[in-house]
Amino acid sequence: MQEIQPTITQRDIICAEIAAPPTAMVVFGASGDLTRRKLLVSLFELFKRGLLNERFYLLGCGRKELSDEKFRQIAQQAIQEESGDTSAKAIEPFIKKLCYISGDYNDTAFHKDIRIKLDELDKKHKVDGCRIFYLAVPPFLYGTIIEHLGSAGLSCPVETDSKQCIRLVVEKPFGRDLQSAVELDKKIHKCFDESQIYRIDHYLGKETVQNILMFRFANTIYEPLWNRNYIDNVQITIAEMIGVEHRASYYDKAGALRDMFQNHMLQMLALVAMEPPISFEADHIRDEKVKLLRSIRPFKPDELDDFIVRGQYGPGSIDGGQIAGYLDEPGVNPGSGTETFVAARLFIDNWRWKGVPFYLRTGKRLARKDTEIAITFKQVPHSMFISAGLDEIPSNILVLQIQPEEGISLQFQAKRPGSKICMGTLNMNFNYRSVFGVDMPEAYQRLLLDCMIGDQTLFNRQDGVEVAWRLLMPVLQAWQNNEASPYEYSAGSSSFPQADSLIESDGRKWRKLGEA
């Protein structure tokens, strides 16, 4: 009997991942937490999936003195702890591709040594393609390292006719305000062209965030309704149960507005509200995101309290355990006025969204971990069931669940078994894990692979960074000048009265964290 071969469809071809070309990755801050927990583990997963080229290698750079062997041991331990793959035999082919060099980031000689080492490793691994410099270091070191890369001749191909491509990956935060973001941009552009720069916001690498574009623009049933005529309000929530953990020294100087709002929150808002791009190309998508951010109504200092509030968690309990307040966290200034919660009401002044409120909130030490986008549609204009006491019919609510239970749900009204007008609210749910049978990949896998293949779609462009900072500068300046402390909320709570009043003054309520 003739064997029937499976048919390869166009959809199968589209879903197939593009493997990376020969790549040299240079990670500054290679002995740090980000490299151990995220970068090495994500690169190993790409290696397991066959998406790393055979001619790939990683050169770790750090101030801590380590031998190649010790760095590989650290990498193996991190991979075993984070990925659950305990087989040293499975990890060994990957960690053989790792090397390490130590020195002072501010030392010109160190960067010359890096260049010599890269030339040596390029020959050994036969890499003549892509060279990526990844800054997994504290932000105050960005300018120093970038300037030395330029002076060492590492920011452009060695030869003008070389096929080699040079890329720079910068972690958030991109500055701590508008002025520092512009200054950082000037330093970067002295050595790198915008086409070489990959500004990472790891939220954009999440499958569920990427799905916002697919959901909106690949389905005809939603886009005609995606406007002020049918949508009553949009709520975007990023709630965390964790506190500041090991990031206290950074977080106490940043706060929730800089750490979450300026990047993650506004990026999700842009994807939800932007106009359709003309094609699925990086700059076309980023153009529309920037246009949307420019359309957000500016904050007026004299009306600030009506549109944005901040809070700081105090002592409380989560899952039965007692939690210290923010001011008692190790590494936090005992008199700190840093916010750990921000809630805001935004308006987008364009044709599509005029008058529709967007409610955003993010906070630490809350009752549940929950990241979602909830779109509430307007109620039916007239109820024909008033005789049965149904003078107000609940709105339809579409929820894009980003994490932890990734999926999509639609809340609607339907006939239930019973009397002639027995009606109830039903939920139609789609869950990624149950449908696809796999855990969602780490966002860094997507972003690292895109960087290696040269796709900037999921990376921020400088004009978008500056627009976001420009929007928030009146808030930052007002909070800096205001001696009043943030409102306190108990660890383990879901909100606090002042944050609730932002939405309740409009006759609406926040969705409960984790609500189906």
> Could you confirm whether 264 is annotated as catalytic?
yes
Q: Are strands 130-135 and 407-415 parallel, antiparallel or unpaired?
A: unpaired
Task: Check residue 20 and report its DSSP letter.
Answer: P
Report residue 508 as tokens. Answer: 């609406």
Q: Is the dihedral of CA 440, 445, 446, 449 positive or negative?
A: negative
Nearest to 283, CA basis, from 465, 470, 455: 455
Residue 80 CA from chain centroid, whole number: 25
Nearest to 289, CA basis, from 305, 308, 276: 276
- Radius of gyration of the CA atoms of the chain, in A: 25
Strand partners of residue 235: 359, 374
Residue in the block written with tokens 């160190």: 110
Task: Give dist(CA 198, CA 194) in Å, integer.
Answer: 8
CB 461 within 8 A of CB 290: yes
Residue 233 backbone phi and psi in degrees, to 5: -165, 165
Burial class (CB within 10 angstroms; exposed 0-12, middle 13-18, buried 19+) of 155:
buried
Amino acid at position 380, single letter:
V
Cα–Cα separations (whole angstroms), residue 354 to 297, 348, 357: 10, 6, 9
Question: 148, 264, 284, 382: which is the annotated catalytic residue?
Answer: 264
> What own/partner pairs with CB < 8 Å and gap ≥ 24 does 38-43 have?
38/202, 38/442, 38/444, 39/134, 39/136, 39/444, 39/448, 40/75, 40/78, 40/79, 40/98, 41/78, 41/79, 41/82, 41/83, 41/442, 41/444, 42/442, 42/444, 42/445, 42/448, 43/94, 43/448
Task: Give dist(CA 24, CA 253) in Å, integer.
Answer: 34
Positions annotated as catalytic residues are 264
